[in-house]
Amino acid sequence: MTDAAPFHDDVADGPPGGHAVWARAADGVRVRVGLWPVDGARGTVLLFPGRTEYVEKYGRAAGDLTRRGYAVAAIDWRGQGLADRLLPGTPLRGHVGRFADYYLDARAMVGVVRAAGLPAPHHLLAHSLGGGIGLGALHHGLKVNSAVFSSPMWGISMPRLMRPVAWTLSHGGHHARQGHRVVPGTDPDGSYVMTAAFEDNNLTNDADMWAYMRRQGQAYPELTLGGPSLTWLAEALAHCRRMRRRPAPSVPALTWLGTDERVVHSGAIVERMADWPGGRLEMIEGARHEPMMDTPAVRARVFDGSVAHFDANA
């Protein structure tokens, strides 16, 4: 299914030609795929967003990539953006039945890219949750020439003493059929960007990018997402554990990580990249969780370096 889907170009601030289509994953869940074609593209970037994110949030990133010669596709994962929300009556609660269900979404996205005629080679650019999905998808047959990760969710940042508590609470709630309940301490009805203050936010040092995200949520609150469900947390923790035990895929990889990372587990990223043959970890002094949405200097470094990596693996 590739019918036209809503696309809020007025807040995306992306390059011309951006649009979105619906796609059905193999289990029937409807996801939304955003497309930014470019004449004479040297390839296509498959952009895997993070938790709570949506296609329009990557409009400026699409501009950075298309100006450098690459077509772009981005996705609303199941349970967020305008994709099907999975918990009736609580649409703002982030949820997934199984982490592996995200791989079905990724396959549907690749089908859209091929049907739209966006050119090969394909390259992966995956942020946060998208980095966790991307790593698993590479193990499950995703074919790309290279991969770039931005603050990938290969572990979740939390105090050491809280790790066994989070594991017990999330898995216990899931198996007790309470997995739909929100993770304690998170807001079931409010988006982080819409409720946090810029001054000490976890995402960006750039006030303009923070305002860009807030404008999107204010204009289209249906795009936003609140805290995760217990099942989501259980599945995410289990996925990170599984991936840590597996060898790195045989795909050339570059990872960007800020020294002021507060959302994902930096140690898990450092450990994985040290064990990735030919992989490279680039640390960005002072950057927070979203290097692609940090200061202009950080964004230029990330996009220049990422495209150089794509070009080297064409």
Domain ranges of the chain: 4-312
- pTM for this model (two decimals): 0.96
Tens of pLDDT, residue by residue over 191-209, are: 999 999 999 999 999 999 9
Homologous superfamily (CATH) for 4-312: Alpha/Beta hydrolase fold, catalytic domain (3.40.50.1820)
Q: Report whether 118 contacts 95 (CB < 8 A).
A: no
Query: Any idea how long the chain is?
Result: 314
Tens of pLDDT, residue by residue over 90-111, are: 888 999 999 999 999 999 999 9
Tens of pLDDT, residue by residue over 249-262, are: 999 999 999 999 99
